[in-house]
Structure 1
Amino acid sequence: MLLTLFCLFIAVVVLQLVYYIIVFGNFSFAKPQTINPKRVPISVIVCAKNEEENVKNFIPLLAHQNYPDYEIVLIDDASRDDTLEIFEAFEKEYSNIKLVKVENNEAFWGNKKFALTLGIKAAKNEYLLFTDADCYPKTTDWIQTMSAQFTKEKTIVLGYGAYEKIKNSFLNKMIRFETLLTATQYFAWAKIGKPYMGVGRNMAYKREEFFRVRGFIDHMKIRSGDDDLFINQAATGSNTTICFHADSFTYSKPKTTFKEWFTQKRRHVATAQHYKSFDRMQLGLFYMTQLLFLVLPIILLSYQFQWIIVLSILGFRYLFAWISLGFAAGKLQEKDTIYWFPFIELLLVFTQLFVFISNTFSKPVHWK
C-alpha cells in the first residue's frame, strides 16, 4: 500500500514539473516584450453598476491616455447611486466620451453581458479595449501598449489585471499570488496555442470576433463570464496573443476580508465549470496534482516511509516551481508574493477545495 502511494507521489510530482517547467515555462522564461506602437482607433469600454466612488477617481485616468485616436464608452447598467450623474458630467467635460444608459430589462435583469452588448454596439471603432469600473491603468501608455499587440492575424489580446499592494496584509499577498498564478496559466496556454480565458479588467479584441461567435448569446443565461467564457469560446491559437509589458497593467483594489475574497472565488470557480472540456480537464488535473502533492507526503512521512527520499522529492519540486513562478512574478511585478510560496500554496489549495464543496451545495451570487 505505501509503495503504491509512493509511486503515485512520484507520478504527481512529474505532472507538476510538466506544468511548472514545460507549460508555464512558455511564459515564465519568455523574453521581455518590446512595444512597436500602432495607431489603430480604439474604443475603451467600461461597464459600471453602482460604482460612483471608483468612476469618479478612475475615469479621468482613462481620459488622459497618451494615444491619439480613442473614445471611451461608459455604460451605466441601471445604477441606483450617482454613477449615471457622474458619467453625464464626464460626457460633457470630455469630447471623446460616449455614454450608454441601460435600463433594467426583465429578460436580462442584472446581467452585465446585456449591458456590455449595448456598449459594444454603440462603439464607433472596430478595436475594443476593456477594463472594469473599479480598475485604473498603471501608466498613460496603457492603450498604446495593449493596442500594439494587434496584427492582421492577432485580433484578441489578453492583458494582466493586477491588484494593489497592501502593506502588512497576508491576505493581500494571497490574493496577488493567486492572481499571478492564474495569469501565468492563461498566458502560458495562450503562448502554446490553447488560450482558455482572460480577465475583463484588461483585455482587448476586434469587434468582428464578438459578432463571429454571436456575442454572449451562447452563455447569456450564465450571469458571470463576460470575459473568460467569451475568450474560452472565441480565442484560438491563431487569433490570440498576450501583453505582459509593465505599461499595459491595470490595477484594482483587492478584497480586504477573507469572506469577500472567498465569495469572489466562488463566482470564478462556478464560471470555469462552463469552459471547454480540455480546459476543464487541464485545470482540474493541475489542481488535483497540487492537492495530492500536499496530502501524499503527509501520509508517507507519518509512516516514516523512505523519508529522506520523500523530503528530497518535495524539495526538488518546490525548487523548480519556485524558479518558474519567480520568473513569472518578475515579469508581472509580484516578486514579494513568491517569498511566501509554500505557505500560500497550502492555503490556496485547501481554500479551493472548500470553494468546490460550497458551490456544490449553493450557487454563488453574481453581477450586482
Structure 2
Amino acid sequence: MEQFLLVLLYIFSAITLIQVVYYGLIFGKFSFLKPQASTPKHLSVSVIVCAKNEEENVKKFIPLLADQNYSNFEIILIDDASRDETLEVFEEFEKKYANVKLVKVENNEAFWGNKKFALTLGIKAATKEYLLFIDADCYPNSREWISEMTSHFTLHKTIVLGYGAYEKEPGFLNKIIRFETLLTATQYFSWARLGKPYMGVGRNLAYKKEEFFNANGFVHHMKIRSGDDDLFINETATKEKTAIAYNEESFTYSKAKTTFGSWFMQKRRHASTAKHYKSFDKTQLGLFYVSQFLFLVLPIILLLFQFEWIIVLALIFFRYLISWMSLGFSAGKLKEKDVMYWYPIIEIILIFTQLNVFFRNIFSKPVTWK
C-alpha cells in the first residue's frame, strides 16, 4: 500500500506542476499584462447582428449600436426566419437609421436552423472592409466599443478577439457562469498571446472581411450547426493575424442563464463544438481539465491515508497561490473580481459539471441554435 501511495504522490506532484505551468506561465501571458493602450483607427466597419426570435432584445440593444461614437460604420441586421416580431422591429430600424441594412433569411431545407447560413448571407451583404460581430442579446459596454475593437487592427493583425461578459445579478449561479466566462477568456487570450489562438466568442469578435472569403466562409464546418465563432477562429487564426482587446470600453454584456438546466445545455453545446478543434487545441484543453480533476481527487486519497500530508498540503497551497494570483489579476482586467472570493468552491462545481457534460454528450446530442 505504501508503494502505491508513493506512486500517487509522484503523480500528484506532476499534476500540480502541470497546473502551475498552466496558471503561472500560460495564463500569466494574459493575467500579468499591463493595461492596454489603443490607437483609434478610421476603418470602415460592418457590425453584424444575427437574430432569431429576439424581438425584445433587439428593441433595446440595436439603438445602442446605432449610437456608437464612430463615423464610418453600418449595421447589418439578419433576421433568421424568426417566428416572433423580430423582422418587423428590424424593418422599423431600417427606416429609422440610414446606416442599417436588413437581410431577411427564409427557411432553407438544406440549411434549416443553421446560423452559419444566415451569417453568410449577412456577411455577403456587408459593404465595409472590416466585420464586427455581436449577438442579438448583447450590448456594447460603451459608445467607444467599435473604436476600441477596431483599434487593434493593423496591416498584419486581421482578427481581434474581444471579451463577452455577463451582467452581474444576484445568485450563486450567476457567479459560476461569470467565473467560467472569466476562465475561458483567460485561456483564449493567453493562448493568443502565446501565438496559438484557438477560439473567440461571437458576442464580441472582429475580423477583416477578406479572412472570411479566404477561408471559404464556414464551408469546412457548415454541417456543424454551432461554431460560427470558435470553429472559424480555430481554422483561420494564426499568431501573425490575431490581436486581443481587453479594455473595459471594448466589452460586450448580456444576461446570463438563470436556471442550472439552461446553463447546462449551453455548456453541452459549447463542449460539442470543441471536439472539432485542431488536435493541439483539443490536447491542451483536455490536459488542463484532466489535471484539474486529478488535482482535486488525488490529494483526497493521500490525505485519507495521512500519507506525507505535509507535502500534500504544501503542494495544494502552492497551486492555489499561483492560480489565485493569476486568475485574480485576470479578473481585475475583466472586471470580475467578486467571483474570486468563491474561487475554490466554484472550481469544484465546474470540474464535476464538465465531467457530467462530457458523459452526457457521449450518449446524446445537445440542441443548437433556436
TM-score by length of 1: 0.99
**Is it true that 1:74 corresponds to 2:70 in the alignment?**
no
**Is it true that 1:354 corresponds to 2:356 in the alignment?**
yes
**Stretch of structure 1 that moved more, 311-320 or 91-100:** 311-320
**Is it true that 1:103 corresponds to 2:113 in the alignment?**
no
Q: Shift in Å at residue 312 of structure 1?
A: 1.5
> What is the aligned partner in structure 2 of residue 117 from structure 1?
120
**Is it true that 1:56 corresponds to 2:47 in the alignment?**
no
Query: AA paired with 2:351?
Result: V
**Is it true that 1:283 corresponds to 2:280 in the alignment?**
no
> What is the aligned partner in structure 1 of residue 315 from structure 2?
313
Q: Shift in Å at residue 308 of structure 1?
A: 1.6
68, 76, 81: which one pairs with 1:65?
68
204, 210, 213: which one pairs with 1:211?
213
150, 157, 160: which one pairs with 2:160?
157
Runs (4 or more) in structure 1 with deviation over 2 Å come to none
- The alignment partner of 1:91 has SS state of helix
Q: Superposition pairs for residues 1-368 of structure 1, below 5 Å?
A: 1-167=4-170, 169-368=171-370
> Separation in 2 of the partners of 1:306 and 1:10?
12
Q: Shift in Å at residue 60 of structure 1?
A: 0.4
Q: Shift in Å at residue 51 of structure 1?
A: 0.2
Q: Shift in Å at residue 31 of structure 1?
A: 1.1
**Stretch of structure 1 that moved more, 306-315 or 83-92:** 306-315
Query: AA paired with 2:265?
Result: T
> Separation in 2 of the partners of 1:166 and 1:308?
40
> Separation in 2 of the partners of 1:230 and 1:142?
22
> Separation in 1 of the partners of 2:267 and 2:83?
26
* Matched residue count: 367
Q: Shift in Å at residue 198 of structure 1?
A: 0.1
> Separation in 2 of the partners of 1:126 and 1:69?
11
Q: Shift in Å at residue 184 of structure 1?
A: 0.1
Query: AA paired with 2:76?
Result: V
Q: Shift in Å at residue 309 of structure 1?
A: 1.5
Q: Shift in Å at residue 307 of structure 1?
A: 1.1
Q: Shift in Å at residue 154 of structure 1?
A: 0.2
Query: AA paired with 2:210?
Result: E
> Separation in 2 of the partners of 1:303 and 1:212?
59
> Separation in 1 of the partners of 2:73 and 2:214?
23
1:204-234 deviations in Å (ceiling 9; x for gaps) = 0001111111100000000000000000001
Query: AA paired with 2:317?
Result: G
> Separation in 2 of the partners of 1:229 and 1:137?
23
Q: Shift in Å at residue 323 of structure 1?
A: 0.1
> Separation in 2 of the partners of 1:215 and 1:199?
17
1:280-321 deviations in Å (ceiling 9; x for gaps) = 000000000000000000110111111121111101110110
1:222-272 deviations in Å (ceiling 9; x for gaps) = 000000000000100000110001100000000000000000000000000
TM-score by length of 2: 0.99
Q: Shift in Å at residue 125 of structure 1?
A: 0.4
1:161-211 deviations in Å (ceiling 9; x for gaps) = 0000002x1100000000000000000000110000000000000011111
- The alignment partner of 1:260 has SS state of helix
> Separation in 1 of the partners of 2:311 and 2:286?
27
> Separation in 2 of the partners of 1:20 and 1:329?
13
Task: Provide the alpha-carbon RMSD of the alignment.
Answer: 0.4
Identity %: 70
Query: AA paired with 1:188?
Result: S
Q: Shift in Å at residue 130 of structure 1?
A: 0.2
Q: Shift in Å at residue 360 of structure 1?
A: 0.6
Q: Shift in Å at residue 337 of structure 1?
A: 0.5
- The alignment partner of 1:132 has SS state of coil
> Separation in 2 of the partners of 1:337 and 1:38?
34
Q: Shift in Å at residue 35 of structure 1?
A: 1.4
> Separation in 2 of the partners of 1:301 and 1:118?
58
Query: AA paired with 1:42?
Result: V
> Separation in 1 of the partners of 2:213 and 2:237?
13
> Separation in 1 of the partners of 2:269 and 2:295?
26
